[in-house]
A and B are shown apart, each in its own frame.
Chain A
């Protein structure tokens, strides 16, 4: 096993990142964490995580942007809110996980072949395009982007689902898609403007 330097220098930290999390909706109580670890204990998925939720909170408030954003933890979170319910400091851990997921996609630092961030991104893209999710397209897209080999094995199941009418190749759209797009674009612009103001 190759040896790797594990020490962290303060240059590895991004204090602005910590400030950003605290400034976002849901991030307010981040700094009040007493690192009790009940979130990790309550989390049904923490046993698969590279960093437990407690560590994610600690790393986030210390500004370890790279470690946090490229972790699997934020993508494994299934939003069950067990941590949020148990947290003695009422930290909105699930909301923070969402903030981090969004930022990871924005910065393009999520784990590339891991299906969940791809699913999240493609889901959003599809809504933007059609206003609805087409499961056949989404699943196909997801498999091709992450594990196309597995796609071959799933073809039989997919065909059966289509035969019984559970899945369809027909485009599933809403009326007046252009208006939804306008709403989404306006929201996006609003957010960008806010960010710019916050920076200046």
Chain B
């Protein structure tokens, strides 16, 4: 190490540049002092400061200096390398320097933005600069590696986001595999009756897209399937998918539903999950008439054959196409794809967590999704608004923000509830003529034609009461309240507390991450925020990218969002995937590790440590081998190697030790 230290006279010629970033850096760091300090450091032949280093003139200055002063190394002290490392590497290349003869010092995020003492901040900046200048002398010329990208794509989740992304990619000529957990695609949108604010029928606009997925020659649709494992790296992912048994052969069933009529259970008697438990289904069932694929399936938990083994299997007998197979087993399939679009959607808040609203205790209390089914013409009541006892409600209260904007449940605004509550208010009034009360905290209608929709509802005579409902109770205090559910709320606009008796309560439940979002994000090696929604790479500038290249997110798995935004995001995710695939290759950062073969003792300690399975063992040579394409440059192997025979580019011992010495100087 120390013997390797370049002698004073042998030091490469270093150029140093410090950026003001307007006043972002210069307001907290004495930039001129840093520039003077760096000028005195060994090897530095040029030291300059500039208002905006990333601007064209700033970059030109670097390129010109490299040529004029025959610079051999470059250090730029500015913002985060996440933002502009690439910019300055390119500037170095324009000047004729290998782009890896460059080191960036972050004195904005790491210094200027986080400190309040200018003197101390300036000193810290100088130390960081000293470290970078000391390490850059040891930088090696490196090249980026190119690896080809597999043109196939997998889309996970068959809601409107997944459907739209899959269709967009397939229309661009890519082979897409759409993997959906449920028996049909369609997701939450398939449950809705109408969509806000235009009130067009959800099924009418969704089912053609579902059929298009099924019919598209470039799309392979795997429903009732889940992704089990994801291996590989950008452009070359290997995915393992588990396909659950339906006990019906998908290629034979045509969805005639004769089997459902023939089932030994003459009456449907099991809770229908698709209709939120408001309807009944048989053990052999299809979620809804337009389910895609239009294939029945058997619920193992309720089917007499699976429970007792003593069923005459009238369903199978009724099937002309001999599609039934009671011995069907779970299948495991493997896929090779270049990119993955995750569109796994959301879970509706469980109102049992807010017991003050009486969900599950009072039969008159419903969730918004249940009401979606009740107002739906193809729902359990064919669109008639009836209570669980069969009566028609005369007054309906819709409580907004259930499981939203609440430190006890979820802190965030779920973004769609105001609008869907307005829609449900309209539909309930239209279908039943009941008085409808909306209890809201703030009316959030920030979309195209949304405020106009709110205005329309105001005009329809729906009551809007601003206040969070405290409780739903059946304890009557006046004769009018007998036999009713009473909502107690402060009408903050009228300025007093009100008690409002209704027959039906609708809880506008918020949107949450899927129950298994954490497992899924680990499986795909992406991040998520504190609330559990998948983390985008940048909240503004990379909203569908993730920190894992080649994996994109769309729809409500990233944050609560409505259908128009979801579709727009799905299109964006598909476009990002296309940009990756159509480039044909990806360039990999050269910060990978390699084994110095002569020094490797073959102890294999590195092999199990690699989180990316990039290290294999050559049994013939008895040496470890690192696949540089799989290596992500985490450095675990280099740190663990007992013989010091693993070296990581840009982080070799000389570079790291000189950096430490620089900072301690």
Contacts and interface: CB of A to CB of B under 8 A. Distances in A.
Given A7-B498, A34-B443, A54-B493, 4 more contacts: A8-B491, A8-B496, A9-B498, A62-B463
A35 B501 CA distance: 24
Interface in B482-498: 491, 493-498
A3 B443 CA distance: 34
B494 A58 contact: yes
A9 B496 contact: no
Contact of A8 (B435, B443, B497): B497
B455 A32 contact: yes
Given A7-B499, A8-B499, A9-B481, A31 B493 contact: no
Contacts of A59: 494
Contacts of A89: 455
Contact of A35 (B466, B477, B480, B500): B466
B63 to A, nearest CB: 56
A7 B490 CA distance: 9
Contact of A32 (B458, B466, B496, B500): B458
B478 A35 contact: no
Contacts of B491: 8, 58, 62
Contacts of A62: 463, 465, 491, 494
B455 A64 contact: no
B447 interface: no
Contact of B461 (A10, A31, A58, A64): A31
A6 interface: yes
A9 B476 CA distance: 11
Contact of A55 (B478, B495, B500): B495
A153 interface: no
Interface in B446-463: 454-455, 458-461, 463
A11 interface: yes
A10 B500 contact: yes
Given A9-B477, A10-B480, A11-B478, A35 B493 contact: yes
Contacts of B466: 35
A9 B501 CA distance: 9
Interface in A47-76: 54-55, 58-59, 62, 64
Contact of B497 (A6, A34, A55, A64): A6
Nearest to B502: A10
B24 to A, nearest CB: 38
Contacts of A8: 491, 494, 496-499
Contact of B499 (A9, A22, A58): A9
Give the one of A10, A11, A54, A58 with max B CB within 10 A. Answer: A10
Interface of A: 6-11, 15, 22, 31-35, 54-55, 58-59, 62, 64, 89
Contacts of B463: 62
B458 A55 contact: no
Contact of B494 (A22, A34, A64): A64
Given A10-B501, A33-B458, A55 B494 contact: yes
A10 B455 CA distance: 24
A31 B498 contact: no
A7 B458 contact: no
Contact of B458 (A9, A10, A34, A54): A34
A9 B480 contact: yes
A62 B489 CA distance: 14
B422 to A, nearest CB: 13
A54 B493 CA distance: 8
Nearest to B456: A32
A8 B495 CA distance: 10
B478 A9 contact: yes
A44 B387 CA distance: 50
Contacts of B493: 35, 54-55, 58
Contacts of B460: 31
Contacts of A55: 493-495
Contacts of B501: 10
B477 A31 contact: no
| Most interface-central of B460, B465, B499 (chain A CB within 10 A) | B499
A121 to B, nearest CB: 28
Contacts of A35: 466, 493
Nearest to A28: B459
B455 to A, nearest CB: 6
Interface in B405-444: 435, 443
Contacts of A10: 480-481, 498-501
A169 B494 CA distance: 47
B459 A31 contact: yes
Contacts of B497: 6-8
Contacts of B495: 55
B312 to A, nearest CB: 57
Closest 5 CB pairs of A and B: A11-B480, A7-B497, A8-B498, A32-B458, A58-B493
24 contacts: A6-B496, A6-B497, A7-B496, A8-B496, A9-B478, A9-B498, A9-B499, A10-B481, A10-B501, A11-B478, A15-B435, A31-B461, A32-B455, A32-B459, A33-B458, A34-B443, A54-B493, A55-B495, A58-B491, A58-B494, A62-B463, A62-B465, A62-B494, A89-B455
A31 B436 CA distance: 14
Contacts of B458: 31-34
Contacts of B477: 9
Interface in B504-548: none
A73 B593 CA distance: 80
Contacts of A11: 478, 480
A7 B467 CA distance: 14
B70 to A, nearest CB: 68
A64 B500 CA distance: 13
Contacts of A22: 461
A64 B463 CA distance: 13
Q: Which of A9, A11, A64 has the most CB of B within 10 A?
A: A9
Nearest to B479: A11
Nearest to B455: A32
A62 B467 CA distance: 14
A19 to B, nearest CB: 8
A8 B460 CA distance: 24
Contacts of B455: 32, 34, 89
Interface in B320-359: none
A62 B461 CA distance: 10
A4 B465 CA distance: 23
A89 B456 CA distance: 12
